[in-house]
Every structure is written in structure tokens, then in C-alpha cells.
Amino acid sequence: MPDRIRVMIVDDIAETREQLRKLLSFDPDVEVVAMVSTGEDAVRVVAADNPDVVLMDVNLPGMDGIAATSKIIEIRPTVQVIMLSVQGETDYLRRAMMAGARDYLTKPPGADELMDAIHRAHKLRQQMGPGMVRSQPGGSGDLPPEQRSKGALQAKVVTVFSPKGGTGCTTLAVNLAIALQGLLGTERRVCLIDGNLQFGDVSIFMKLQASLTMIDLAPHAHDLDPDLLNTVLVTHESGLKVLVAPPTPEDAEVLREEGVEENGANTRFRAILEFMEPLFDYIIVDTAHQVDDMLLALMDKSDLLMVVTRPVIPEIRGARIFVELLHKLSYDLNKVGLVINCADNKRMGIQPEAIEKAMMPALIHLPFDERTALRAANLGEPVMPRSSRTPLGQGFTAFAEKVHARVHKPVEEEMPEPEPQRRAGLGRLL
């Protein structure tokens, strides 16, 4: 049969190899073409024989399964490696995925899950084609066919920023992203990035369990592939994809290992953003409250840079100084949107109109709705879509509609691009 899936088994225990071979003999689409006991042999056979799928034990004497996988992917980028391990630990999973493994099964695998994994991996190999390497977008089975080629989409990037903490940025970013996904439907791709590297809490606001985060992408920032990205992204029940922030503040350093560009933008984060842009309709980014290398990377890429303030003097002052800074740098102010959160909170004392007069007309006023906001934060259940009828929920629906209208307004209304030499000044300013 010419089209059978050619599988190699790598395990140092003869009995395990035999068990796997027996399991696979029940699948008429699968042919076991080699069984070897070491990582070194596995690499040799792959070089000579180019199997479709490799079942790789993690624990091997000498070159272990993870090192062998790296080597195999290096010499044959389209070979699909499925890792097998007795340990179900996330650390193995992470290292296996980093090495380029396509899937990860706990030993002993069930017959169905093994066959499914092999067929899935084989399908991906066919999609990659013989000449395609992993670093090219287009290998992912998770992406609809029309989005498998680079440039099929160009995401609108919406950044949510506030110079002061506690203004509601994370609440706004999370719920805007969910509301946009709801507005566009699950066919469209919306991604939320937690760009607050040190104290990002998007995963808390959404009660998401992420074993992989942005730090797992960072070392591969310049040779990402859609499958690695999909492995790291977490899917929320709304269909929204989420790129979670590093688990601890010190982990964030891996993103800074390549430093910054001439204009101050974080090199790795910029590369990650550029890779993601053609794969999504929208990318929403929550940020830390400082003008740093992360924000500079985002400013370049943003179609809309949202500045959030509540009606209290220190926050308004911070927002105003930030907008003035943008103005001094000739940043295109058409891309800036003011959001007044808790706009109707009488106790805060300042009229939203006075803020607009001091700065610019607001894109939206969001209501003060302590009950809804606090409940959402404490339970890790976003306001959207469950509480869309609350005052804050209605505010988020309107917010998503306004953002969508704003970033899709006709091009001719926009102001000219700022001069590049003046933008370079921001890097020096920091």
C-alpha cells in the first residue's frame, strides 16, 4: 500500500517497542518501518529513511528523547515526533514542545489516542509539504485553510494602556477581547496578549490554567511556527486565544535577552507580534503601567492605542502627560483613543467633559459598576458574555462596537504617518 503512514518506534525497552508495534498493527493505514533503542540510532534512521512519524520515548540512555527530537527536526523539519513518557509532568511537555515534538502522550498510551495522534501528526506533515520548514507559518492544523499562508490576515492591534495602575486596564482588555470575539463570531480569530511581563494577571481574571506562556515563545521569537504558537496559546470558552504572561517577574528577563531596537522597542516581543499579525483578525494587548520596551514595540504596531483613566486627578494628569509625550514624538494621535472608566462615579468628583476638554474627546465612557467588576475579578469570571446585561456589560458591548468602527474607518480620514527620525527619539528618552 503506497500511502501508509511510515512510523518509527524509539524506546530502549524491547518489550515496550513490541507492545507499540502490536498496537499499531491493528491500524491498516500505519506501517512500522523501524524500531530502534537509542536516540543516536533514531537520528541515523531518520537521516537515511525519512519516516513520517516518530514515536519517541523521553528517557533514553545517552542522547535522551528530547535531544534526539531536536536533532531530528534539524535534519528533517517535516518529520512529526510524538513524545511518550511515563511522567505526565508539564516540564517534560514544555521541553518536548520546545524541541519540536508535535504531540505528547503518557505511557502506556491507549490504542485510540495513539492512532489519533499518529493520524493527526501525519495530516500536519502533509500540510507542511516536502519543501516546507516549520518556521514558515502554514503548518498548523488549527488554522483555517484560508489563513495558512502568510499575509492572509492583518490583525488590528489594540493596546490598552494607562500610566497609573488600578485604572481598569486588565478588566477592559479582557472584556473587550471577549466582546470582539462575540461581535465577530467564532470563525474569526481574536487573541489577547498579556503584555504586563512582570505582574500580568489576565490568566487570573479569566481563570485560565496555562502550562506554557510567553517565555516559551521568547527564545524562538525569530523562527516561530504556528504549531508552537498554538501550543502556547490558551483557548478561552469564548473561542478567544490568550497568550499568558510569564509566571514570575524574574521569568520576564528571557524576553529581554536580545535587548531593544533603535527606537527602544523590545526585539523579541516585536518579532512575536509580527509573527502573529497575519494569523489573527484582532490582537488585544494588556500592558504594564510604564513606557518601556514592551510598550514601544506595541506603539509601532498598534492600530489603536487606548489610554485609560478614571475621573481622578492623578490618573488624568498621568494620561495627559502621556498623550503630550505622544504628541511631542509626532505619534499619530488618530491612533489614540481615550477611555474614561468609572466615568459616572460621582465620588471621584471630576466631570468626564472636563477630562475631554483637557485632552481629547473620549472614545467611550464606561460606567462605574463595582458589583459587576469586583465579582468578575474575584471569581475569575469575565463580565462578558455572562453579565452582558449589567451596566458594565452593556458598556463593554458598546466599547467593542466603537473599537471595531474606529479601526475600520476609511483610510483617507487618517493623518499622515509620523516622521521616523522623530520616533527614534523615544528610545533615547527612556
Residue type, 285: V
Nearest-10 Cα torsion for 179, 182, 185, 191: 40
User: In the complex with Mg ion, which residue's Cβ is closer, 169 or 279?
Assistant: 169
Interface with Mg ion, residue 263, by CB under 5 A: no
Select the residue interacting with ligand ATP from 140, 162, 175, 213 (CB under 6 A).
162
DSSP string, 191-222: EEEEE-TTT--HHHHTT---SS-HHHHGGGTT
- The least distance separating ligand ATP from the CB of residue 201, rounded to whole angstroms, comes to 6
Residue 69 interacts, among Mg ion, ligand ATP, none and using kind-specific CB cut-offs from 5 to 8 Å, with none
User: In the complex with ligand ATP, which residue's Cβ is closer, 168 or 318?
Assistant: 168
CB 314 within 8 A of CB 350: no
User: In the complex with ligand ATP, which residue's Cβ is closer, 100 or 168?
Assistant: 168
User: In the complex with Mg ion, which residue's Cβ is closer, 74 or 370?
Assistant: 370
Residue 373 interacts, among Mg ion, ligand ATP, none and using kind-specific CB cut-offs from 5 to 8 Å, with ligand ATP
Select the residue interacting with ligand ATP from 110, 166, 249, 314 (CB under 6 A).
166
Comparing CA positions, the residue from 329, 273, 324, 275 lying closest to residue 303 is: 273
User: In the complex with Mg ion, which residue's Cβ is closer, 170 or 238?
Assistant: 170
Q: For residues 94-113, which are near Mg ion according to CB under 5 A?
A: none
d(CA 81, CA 79): 6
d(CA 120, CA 415): 48
Comparing CA positions, the residue from 224, 220, 244, 235 lying closest to residue 150 is: 224
Residue 166 interacts, among Mg ion, ligand ATP, none and using kind-specific CB cut-offs from 5 to 8 Å, with ligand ATP
Q: Long-range contacts for 64-69 (Cβ within 8 Å, ≥24 apart)?
A: 64/39, 65/10, 65/39, 65/96, 66/92, 66/95, 66/96, 66/99, 66/101, 67/39, 67/99, 68/10, 68/39, 68/40, 68/42, 68/43, 69/96, 69/99, 69/100, 69/101
> Which residues, 6+ apart, have CB-to-CB distance to 157 below 8 Å?
273, 277, 282, 283, 285, 298, 301, 302, 303, 304
Q: For residues 34-93, which are near ligand ATP according to CB under 6 A?
A: none
CB 322 within 8 A of CB 358: no
- The least distance separating ligand ATP from the CB of residue 360, rounded to whole angstroms, comes to 20
- The least distance separating Mg ion from the CB of residue 173, rounded to whole angstroms, comes to 8
The burial class, CB within 10 Å (0-12 / 13-18 / 19+), for 419 is exposed
Select the residue interacting with Mg ion from 170, 175, 267, 397 (CB under 5 A).
170
- The least distance separating ligand ATP from the CB of residue 149, rounded to whole angstroms, comes to 36
User: In the complex with Mg ion, which residue's Cβ is closer, 197 or 265?
Assistant: 197
Q: How many residues bind ligand ATP (CB under 6 A)?
A: 19
Place of cell 497568550: 243
- The least distance separating ligand ATP from the CB of residue 1, rounded to whole angstroms, comes to 58
Residue nearest to ligand ATP (CB): 165
- The least distance separating ligand ATP from the CB of residue 247, rounded to whole angstroms, comes to 16
Residue nearest to Mg ion (CB): 170
Q: For residues 356-385, which are near ligand ATP according to CB under 6 A?
A: 366, 368-370, 373-374, 377
d(CA 298, CA 304): 10
Select the residue interacting with ligand ATP from 168, 182, 311, 337 (CB under 6 A).
168
d(CA 430, CA 413): 32
- The least distance separating ligand ATP from the CB of residue 294, rounded to whole angstroms, comes to 13
Residue 96 interacts, among Mg ion, ligand ATP, none and using kind-specific CB cut-offs from 5 to 8 Å, with none
User: In the complex with ligand ATP, which residue's Cβ is closer, 9 or 306?
Assistant: 306
Cis peptide before 108 (omega within 30 of 0): yes
CB 380 within 8 A of CB 341: no
Which H or E element spans position 391?
helix 391-407
Binding positions for Mg ion, rule: CB under 5 A: 169-170
Binding positions for ligand ATP, rule: CB under 6 A: 162, 165-171, 289, 341-342, 366, 368-370, 373-374, 377, 392
